[in-house]
Amino acid sequence: MIFQEYHKTVLPNGLTVISEHISTVRSVSLGGWIKSGSRQESREINGVAHFLEHMMFKGTSHRTPREIVRSVEALGGNINAFTSKEQTCFYVEVLDEHLSQAVEVLADIVCHSTFPQAEMEKEREVILDEIQSLEESPDELILDYFVEHLFPEHQLGMPIIGTRETVRNISRDQLIHFYQQHYRSSNIIVAAAGNVDHQELVELCQRYFLFPHRNGVYRTTTPEQSSQGEYVFQKPIQQCHICMGISGVSFSDPRKYSLLLINTILGTGMGSRLFQNIREAHGLAYGIFSFVDFYLDGGVFGTYLATDPKKQHLAIQLLEQEFQKLQKEPLSQEELEEAKSQLKGNLVLALESTASRMNRLAMMEIYLGSFLPIDEITQQIDNITIDEISQTAQELLDVSRMLRIIFIPHK
């Protein structure tokens, strides 16, 4: 599967429609992307974007909750949604012959949801149960703690799902106010990838994505210098869980691909330095990895592992040594080329999925306002030098500036 045709149209009402035509498939992945997530919340209503995502499936002026799902599943398709720090996405995957029905259903839930109070109370309990499940998964919970302490005074540090207190107290009026402020045509992107005709998609969006005129405001504040130091929490667990890292770079930062290569070298896959040293050579951890995330004006870089509590200090020491090694010792050309091949391979293999291509279209439009073909991205990766890797490592991997979150068993 290779890049075929990219198109972009901004409708008179401000709705952006983007598509990539792929003639070798018989399906279409379609997404309605709202450029609002937990970052647009106040602390008092933390979790409202995620709550709203759930409520969009609880009935419209045209469909019951069951009819929403069956409208797509009866066609052999799938419908779902997710909320992130900076976006909310509702997506549908269908055969190409069902594009019109897919657009109509997607527009129905985005434009005509009714938010019944009875359904809201039931869904509140579902989300509280979701919070409980998260709290019983230390490998996931520690990542929330990490971001919370990395950006302690900023919305980026707030949990996407919200807290028990905020979820219990969010009212229907607050939910509707957030919806009216952010779910407006100029704040929404409709993205599609697959066997889709762009002009047909535009006409369908003009017909179905109809919003009242709204003057919501899309505000963001740039996060300040991130937190650092060590925070230890006692949990009802057996292992010691460690998350260590620092604030990273934005989606549009020139160092993005250098950091992705560093992430590949350090903690992506069984051949990575962390896996080979901490797991294979020392036998300290079963699960260990590094991760990156990119935002509008900042980002996150971190590492995670779980180990025996008696071995936590050795594990941290070895983590720090790997960071310092990348700062002080230049890569070999061979290791850099292997990392480039691995990163490019992962990116290209992901594009075998129309859903991944649809996601990629939307993210580039949201963060860059344009589209980069995969060949241009792989060329940018190929152009990264050993000196650029060293420079990025020196700027971002300073152990003295890092944040450590540690979960230990109750004493």
> Which amino acid, 14?
G
| DSSP assigned state of 75 | T
Helix (H) or strand (E) holding 203: helix 198-208
Helix (H) or strand (E) holding 374: helix 374-382
| 227 within 8 A of 51, measured Cβ to Cβ | no
Q: Are strands 403-409 and 5-10 parallel, antiparallel or unpaired?
A: unpaired
Taking residue 122's Cβ as centre, other Cβ atoms within 10 Å add up to 11
User: Alpha carbon of 122 to those of 69, 168, 223, 386: distances in Å?
Assistant: 18, 11, 35, 55
Kindly report the CA angle at 159 between 29 and 50, in degrees rounded to 5?
45
Q: Exposure pattern of 137-156 as b/e (b: 16+ CB <10 Å)?
A: ebeebbbbbbbbbbbeebbb
Q: In what order do the strands lie in the sheet with 288-294?
A: 229-235, 403-409, 240-247, 299-307, 288-294
Q: Report phi then psi at 192, rounded to 5.
A: -140, 140
State whether the Cα torsion 259-341-325-271 is positive or negative: positive
The neighbour count for residue 335, using CB atoms within 10 Å, is 15
Helix or strand or coil: residue 180? helix
**Catalytically annotated residues:** 53
Residue 35: φ, ψ to 5°: -80, 55
Backbone angles phi, psi at 371, to 5 degrees: -125, 135
